[in-house]
């Protein structure tokens, strides 16, 4: 099997990267929700208590974390399907159709948009949480592992690493899916150019066939005209020969009459 389709191989490599990055979104966010007892720190705010130093959290909606996990799962499933599908294409030595390439373009752009939204949610939501953490700690990283909310019983030991990994995975996935959109668009443009070439070749072939048929029709008409002219020339020559023969025959009759008169006189 000759691996000549560089674009198809590039797509497979990009889908493998997208698969790995989708794990960087799904796994950390799932671990975070488990450690925070189902709560989501994205866009969550609170007030520091002066009496016991605890953080009284006003939890934001879980939809922020759930949406991010959902996007990661979708990216993972789509990446696996595309890796399998394009691996089959390489094994069989074929490529996707024009319709399939068009669907890839639309799906890649749509998933890219979903990933951008997830990346913005993780980034902005984490910034809101860290602003409250820096009111008591020098940095948000230092707050990780501190007992800040005994009331809810959350485990804060790994939230900074988990949210950082999810943030990296979201933005990197967005860049990867932008590249996949470009690859799919390039393939679609190539198919469009090939289709235009086929149409142009078909029209040129039809034009040459029509010109050949018109040329054959003109040659037959010219032959008929030449044949008719030759018949006219032949008929004129025959008429001239018959006229000369009649003239000669008419000229011989007086000479024969004079000879017969001379014989009678003798």
Of 46-55, 68-77, 115-124, 184-193, the poorest mean pLDDT is in 184-193
How many CA atoms does the CB half-sphere of 227 hold within 13 Å? Answer: 6
User: pLDDT band at residue 194, thresholds of 50, 70 and 90?
Assistant: low
Mean pLDDT of 71-100: 90
Q: What span, in angstroms and rounded, lies between the C-alpha atoms of 222 and 230?
A: 12
How many CA atoms does the CB half-sphere of 198 hold within 13 Å? Answer: 6
**3-class SS of residue 154:** coil
Q: How high is the pLDDT of residue 219?
A: 53
Average model confidence (pLDDT) across the chain: 80
Q: How high is the pLDDT of residue 182?
A: 92
pLDDT at 9 > cutoff 70: yes
Q: What are phi and psi of 62, to 5 degrees?
A: -70, -10
Q: What percent of the chain has pLDDT over 70?
A: 77
Mean pLDDT of 204-217: 74
Instruction: Report yes or no: 140 and 133 within 8 Å, Cβ to Cβ.
Output: yes
Q: What is the pLDDT of residues 12-56, one digit of tens each?
A: 999 999 999 999 999 999 999 999 999 999 999 999 988 888 899
Mean pLDDT of 166-181: 95
Tell whether pTM > 0.75: no
Q: Under 8 Å CB-to-CB from 165, ≥6 apart: which residues? A: 24, 28
Q: What is the DSSP string of 214-226?
A: HHHHHHHHHHHHH
Q: How many CB atoms lie within 10 A of CB 155?
A: 15
Domains of the chain by residue range = 1-46+98-202
Tokens of 156: 């804060």
Q: What is the pLDDT of residues 115-163, one digit of tens each?
A: 999 999 999 999 999 999 998 999 899 999 888 888 888 989 999 999 9
User: Helix 6-35 crosses helix 159-265 at what angle (to 10 degrees)?
Assistant: 160
Mean pLDDT of 244-260: 41
Q: What span, in angstroms and rounded, lies between the C-alpha atoms of 259 and 265?
A: 10
Tokens of 207: 């034009």
Q: How high is the pLDDT of residue 152?
A: 86
Residue written as token pair 């000759």: 2
The alpha-helical segments, DSSP class H, found in the chain are 6-35, 63-92, 98-133, 140-143, 159-265
Instruction: Report yes or no: 21 and 176 within 8 Å, Cβ to Cβ.
Output: yes
């Amino acid at each position: 099997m000759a691996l000549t389709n560089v674009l198809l191989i590039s797509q497979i490599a990009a889908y493998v990267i997208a698969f790995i990055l989708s794990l960087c979104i799904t796994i950390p966010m799932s671990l975070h929700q488990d450690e925070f007892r189902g709560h989501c720190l994205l866009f969550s705010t609170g007030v520091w208590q002066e009496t016991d130093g605890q953080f009284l959290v006003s939890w934001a909606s879980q939809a922020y974390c759930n949406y991010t996990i959902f996007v990661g799962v979708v990216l993972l499933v789509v990446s696996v399907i595309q890796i399998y599908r394009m691996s089959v294409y390489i094994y069989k030595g074929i490529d996707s159709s024009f319709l399939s390439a068009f669907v890839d373009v639309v799906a890649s752009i749509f998933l890219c948009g979903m990933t951008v939204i997830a990346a913005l949610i993780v980034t902005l939501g984490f910034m809101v949480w860290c602003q409250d953490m820096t009111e008591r700690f020098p940095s948000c990283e230092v707050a990780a592992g501190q007992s800040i909310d005994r009331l809810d019983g959350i485990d804060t030991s790994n939230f900074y690493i988990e949210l950082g990994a999810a943030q990296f995975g979201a933005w990197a996935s967005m860049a990867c899916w932008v590249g996949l959109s470009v690859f799919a668009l390039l393939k679609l443009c190539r198919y469009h150019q090939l289709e235009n070439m086929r149409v142009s070749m078909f029209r040129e072939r039809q034009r040459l066939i029509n010109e050949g048929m018109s040329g054959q029709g003109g040659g037959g008409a010219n032959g008929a005209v030449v044949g008719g002219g030759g018949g006219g020339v032949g008929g004129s020559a025959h008429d001239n020969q018959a006229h000369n023969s009649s003239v000669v025959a008419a000229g011989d009759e007086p000479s024969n009459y004079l000879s017969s008169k001379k014989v009678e006189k003798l």
